[in-house]
């Protein structure tokens, strides 16, 4: 399994753009977190046992940015389960960050 976090960086990454292109071209639903600021979707890689996900979130300017990419899951169920956990964790991270800024 591979994971990549953006951590607020706005650098351009060609692998990320390719991953987003694959996901947006696919027919997988987007899952939205409770706050509506975090969305994610799963995608199938080029091999049978390579499923992954992407999480997008809104930054301080309200723009969508890639927050996390993960791959290496054996099927869509595993990828979707990990995606749901990661969305919850991302929202919790945003809540804590917002509290620290107050």
Render pLDDT for 32-72 as a digit per residue (tens, 0 to 9).
888 888 999 998 887 777 899 999 988 778 888 899 999 89
CB–CB of 71/45 below 8 Å? Answer: yes
Our count of domains for the chain comes to 1
pLDDT(93) > 90: no
Distance (Å, rounded) from C-alpha 33 to C-alpha 47? 29
Within the chain, where are the H helices?
A: 14-25, 76-101
Name beta bridge partners: 65: 57
pLDDT band for 25, please (50, 70, 90 cuts).
Answer: low
Phi and psi at residue 97, in whole multiples of 5°? Answer: -65, -40
**73-80 average pLDDT score:** 91
Helix (H) or strand (E) holding 53: strand 51-58
pTM tops 0.85: no
Structural domain including 81 reads: 2-101
């Amino acid at each position: 399994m591979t994971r990549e976090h953006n951590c607020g960086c706005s650098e351009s990454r060609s692998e990320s753009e390719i991953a987003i292109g694959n996901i947006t071209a696919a027919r997988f639903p987007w899952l939205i977190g409770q706050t509506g600021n975090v969305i994610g979707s799963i995608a199938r890689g080029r091999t049978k046992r390579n499923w992954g996900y992407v999480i997008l979130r809104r930054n301080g300017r309200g723009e969508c940015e890639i927050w996390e990419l993960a791959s290496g899951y054996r099927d869509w169920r595993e990828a979707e389960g990990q995606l749901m956990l990661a969305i919850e964790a991302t929202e919790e991270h945003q809540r804590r960050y917002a509290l620290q800024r107050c």
